[in-house]
């Protein structure tokens, strides 16, 4: 089966989830992703890795079996502070199409593996830097994680209770949406451009920039009115009765997205409050309308409302827990859960492929390996013989 990115080689220097998600997507679509891991971790980061955080109680084999972020990749452990280790990277970069990294600005230059170095070796190289704040600006060297980027980007001011208490929305907005997905778009766009120009380029993706970019609909209103949107106060974050969450009889919650009048008419009718439909856009009566709907939704369980509302145009569903997500008929039909057989761990599951291509679909090809599992094989492809590999391993250049 031909795959969309077959023949594209990616060098993955990522250490955290956003970068690993980028290379997972590229690998799922057929790219040959070589994951360059640290040969040894020392100093304050010793004992701390993304895998240990995510799989505290799992053996390496079991962790690998469930680790979707590392699937479909080959893994080589290289010491980039060692001269021979850097030489390995450069040999790989000379043959690669894409390099992705997530270090703070300046780190790759100190290691001698930055874009300018790679471009001199390979003018067709596409070099992605995925960072919190980007390669320039006063915050460029500041440490951060998703919660910081959604704070600086303004999104955290939108998500929360009516009393203004912010609610952390997981690490989805900056890490994955604003960061990783924009990085994927940047890499794929650069690959398309290279077909015309014959040259690679540098792709600078800031997770904070990505958060701001995701809020285009909010920012256009802000620029027009000069008013900052508040939590639980806009059309899209719980500020209206027709786009909100409601508690059911059993303590479970419903999501109501009945923005269009014809949907809201059906909601009110099925909730036994048809007279509320005419008040949908009467802001003065919103507190009264919301209170009436809250009372109505307390009369049935969330599942009962889900079953009732889903039969008509209402935009009302139950808020699922993870076990309900992957038991749902729609999710199963869309194959968003992969049932796999691991040679050591047995039956395991991983998340499926969200983008369906009719001619060149994504595919599961291999489980995540353990650290440095493919070191010898990849070095052999680069022309290193067994003696050279043994020497480099003894001196700590590879592992």
CA distance 399 to 392: 8
Q: Tell me: do 179 and 276 sit in the same domain.
A: no
Q: Tell me: do 61 and 199 sit in the same domain.
A: yes
CA distance 373 to 73: 11
Q: Tell me: do 254 and 320 sit in the same domain.
A: yes
Per-residue tokens: 133: 């704040």
Is 263 a member of any domain? yes
What lies within 8 Å, CB to CB, of 349 at 6+ separation is: 66, 326, 337, 338, 339, 340
Looking at 286, 305, 325, the residue that finishes a domain is 325
The enclosing domain of 29 has a CATH number of 3.40.50.10540
Q: Tell me: do 190 and 306 sit in the same domain.
A: no
Is 369 a member of any domain? yes
Confidence check: pLDDT of 45 > 90: no
Sign, CA torsion 63/68/73/79:
negative
Entry field: residues in the chain:
399
Q: Tell me: do 79 and 139 sit in the same domain.
A: yes
The enclosing domain of 253 has a CATH number of 3.30.1540.10
Is 66 a member of any domain? yes
Task: Give me the domain span that covers residue 200.
Answer: 9-213+336-394
If pLDDT is split at 50, 70 and 90, which confidence band does 62 have?
A: confident
Q: Tell me: do 343 and 314 sit in the same domain.
A: no
Domain total in the chain: 2
Is 312 a member of any domain? yes
Looking at 300, 325, 350, the residue that finishes a domain is 325
pLDDT of residue 50: 52
Q: Which long-range contacts (CB under 8 A, 24 or more apart) does 291-294 make?
A: 293/241, 293/244, 293/246, 293/256, 293/267, 293/268, 294/246, 294/247
Note the pLDDT tens digit of each residue in 335-387. 999 999 999 999 999 999 999 999 999 999 999 988 899 999 999 999 999 99
Q: Tell me: do 306 and 372 sit in the same domain.
A: no
What lies within 8 Å, CB to CB, of 355 at 6+ separation is: 362
Confidence check: pLDDT of 328 > 70: yes
pLDDT of residue 56: 44
| Mean pLDDT for the stretch of residues 193-219 | 97
Q: Tell me: do 176 and 286 sit in the same domain.
A: no
Instruction: Look up the pTM and report it.
Output: 0.93
Confidence check: pLDDT of 76 > 80: yes
| Mean pLDDT for the stretch of residues 282-308 | 97
307 is catalytic: no
Q: Tell me: do 298 and 350 sit in the same domain.
A: no
Is 77 a member of any domain? yes
Per-residue tokens: 244: 């909100």
- For residues 162 and 108, the model is more confident at 108
Looking at 325, 349, 366, the residue that finishes a domain is 325
Query: Which stretch of DSSP H or E encloses residue 205?
Result: strand 202-206
If pLDDT is split at 50, 70 and 90, which confidence band does 42 have?
A: low
Q: Tell me: do 306 and 343 sit in the same domain.
A: no
Q: Which of 175, 204, 209, 374 is catalytic?
A: 175
Q: Tell me: do 25 and 121 sit in the same domain.
A: yes
CA distance 37 to 94: 19
Q: Which of 84, 145, 313, 376 is catalytic?
A: 145
Per-residue tokens: 345: 């761990």
Q: Tell me: do 318 and 387 sit in the same domain.
A: no
Is 22 a member of any domain? yes
145 is catalytic: yes
């Amino acid at each position: 089966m031909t795959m969309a990115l077959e023949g594209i080689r990616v060098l993955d220097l990522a250490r955290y989830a956003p970068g690993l998600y980028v290379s997972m997507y590229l690998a799922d679509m057929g790219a040959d992703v070589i994951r360059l891991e640290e040969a040894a971790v020392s100093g304050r980061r010793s004992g701390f890795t993304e895998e240990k955080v995510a799989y505290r109680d799992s053996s390496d084999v079991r962790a690998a079996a469930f680790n979707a972020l590392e699937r479909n990749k080959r893994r080589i452990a290289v010491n980039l502070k060692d001269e021979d280790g850097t030489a390995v990277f450069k040999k790989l970069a000379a043959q690669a199409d894409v390099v992705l990294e997530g270090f703070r600005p300046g780190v790759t230059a100190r290691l001698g593996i930055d874009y300018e170095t790679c471009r001199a070796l390979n003018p067709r190289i596409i070099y992605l830097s995925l960072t919190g704040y980007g390669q320039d600006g006063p915050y460029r060297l500041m440490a951060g994680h998703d919660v910081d980027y959604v704070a600086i980007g303004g999104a955290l001011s939108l998500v929360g209770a009516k009393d203004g208490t912010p609610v952390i929305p997981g690490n989805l907005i900056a890490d994955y949406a604003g960061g990783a997905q924009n990085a994927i778009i940047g890499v794929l766009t650069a690959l398309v451009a290279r077909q015309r120009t014959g040259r690679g380029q540098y792709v600078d993706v800031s997770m904070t920039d990505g958060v701001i970019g995701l809020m285009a609909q909010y920012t256009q209103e802000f620029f027009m009115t000069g008013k900052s949107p508040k939590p639980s106060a806009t059309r899209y974050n719980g500020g209206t009765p027709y786009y909100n969450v409601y508690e059911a009889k059993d303590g479970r919650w419903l999501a109501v997205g009945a923005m269009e009048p014809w949907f809201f008419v059906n909601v009110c009718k099925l909730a036994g409050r048809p007279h509320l439909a005419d008040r949908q856009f009467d802001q003065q009566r919103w507190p009264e309308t919301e209170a009436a709907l809250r009372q109505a939704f307390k009369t049935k369980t969330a599942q009962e409302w889900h079953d009732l509302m889903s039969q008509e145009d209402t935009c009302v569903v139950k808020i699922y827990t993870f076990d309900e997500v992957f038991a749902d008929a729609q999710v199963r039909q869309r194959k968003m859960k992969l049932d796999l057989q691991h040679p050591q761990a047995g039956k395991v599951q991983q998340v499926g492929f969200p983008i369906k291509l009719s001619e060149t679909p994504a595919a599961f090809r291999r489980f995540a390996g353990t650290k440095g599992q493919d070191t010898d094989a990849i070095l052999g492809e680069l022309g290193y013989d067994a003696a050279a590999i043994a020497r480099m391993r003894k001196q700590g250049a590879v592992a």
